[in-house]
A and B are shown apart, each in its own frame.
Chain A
Amino acid sequence: MKHYEVEILDAKTREKLCFLDKVEPQATIAEIKNLFTKTHPQWYPARQSLRLDPKGKSLKDEDVLQKLPVGTTATLYFRDLGAQISWVTVFLTEYAGPLFIYLLFYFRVPFIYGHKYDFTSSRHTVVHLACICHSFHYVKRLLETLFVHRFSHGTMPLRNIFKNCTYYWGFAAWMAYYINHPLYTPPTYGAQQVKLALAIFVICQLGNFSIHMALRDLRPAGSKTRKIPYPTKNPFTWLFLLVSCPNYTYEVGSWIGFAIMTQCLPVALFSLVGFTQMTIWAKGKHRSYLKEFRDYPPLRMPIVPFLL
Chain B
Amino acid sequence: MGRLTEAAAAGSSASVACSAGPPPTPLPLSSTSPGSAATMASSEEDGTNGGASEAGEEKEAPGRRRRLSFLATAWLTFYNIAMTAGWLVLAIAMVRFYMEKGTHRGLYKSIQKTLKFFQTFALLEIVHCLIGIVPTSVLVTGVQVSSRIFMVWLITHSIKPIQNEESVVLFLVSWTVTEITRYSFYTFSLLDHLPYFIKWARYNFFIILYPVGVAGELLTIYAALPYVKKTGMFSIRLPNKYNVSFDYYYFLLITMASYIPLFPQLYFHMLRQRRKVLHGEVIVEKDD
> Do A and B come together as binding partners?
yes
| Partner-B contacts on A (CB < 8 A) | 49, 55, 58, 79, 81-82, 84, 87, 90-91, 94, 149, 151-153, 156-157, 159-160, 163-164, 166-168, 178-179, 181, 183-185, 188, 215, 226, 247, 262-266, 273, 277, 280-281, 284-285, 288
Known contacts A55-B58, A157-B53, A262-B243; A152 and B47 CB within 8 A of each other: yes
Interface locus among B37-45, B84-92, B192-200: B37-45
Q: How far is the CB of A33 from chain B (nearest CB, A)?
A: 13
Looking at chain B's contact residues, the main secondary structure is loop
Question: Within 8 Å CB of A151, what residues of B?
Answer: 45-47
A156→B238 CA distance, assembly (Å)? 41
Question: Within 8 Å CB of B51, what residues of A?
Answer: 49, 81-82, 84, 156-157
Q: Closest A residue to B242 by CB, please name it.
A: A265
Q: Is the beta-carbon distance between A273 and B40 smaller than 8 angstroms?
A: yes
Known contacts A163-B37, A265-B244, A277-B39; A215 and B46 CB within 8 A of each other: yes
Q: Is the beta-carbon distance between B41 and A284 smaller than 8 angstroms?
A: no
A149→B44 CA distance, assembly (Å)? 11
29 of the cross-chain contacts (CB-CB < 8 Å) are A49-B50, A58-B50, A81-B54, A87-B43, A151-B47, A152-B46, A153-B50, A156-B42, A156-B43, A156-B52, A157-B52, A163-B42, A164-B40, A164-B41, A166-B40, A167-B41, A178-B244, A181-B238, A184-B243, A185-B239, A185-B240, A185-B243, A262-B243, A263-B241, A263-B243, A264-B242, A265-B243, A273-B40, A284-B49
Q: Is the beta-carbon distance between A266 and B241 smaller than 8 angstroms?
A: no
A264→B53 CA distance, assembly (Å)? 34
Question: Within 8 Å CB of A156, what residues of B?
Answer: 42-43, 47, 51-52
Nearest 5 CB-CB pairings of A with B: A265-B244, A183-B239, A167-B40, A264-B243, A183-B238
Q: Is the beta-carbon distance between A82 and B239 smaller than 8 angstroms?
A: no
Indicate if B48 sits at the interface (CB-CB under 8 A).
yes
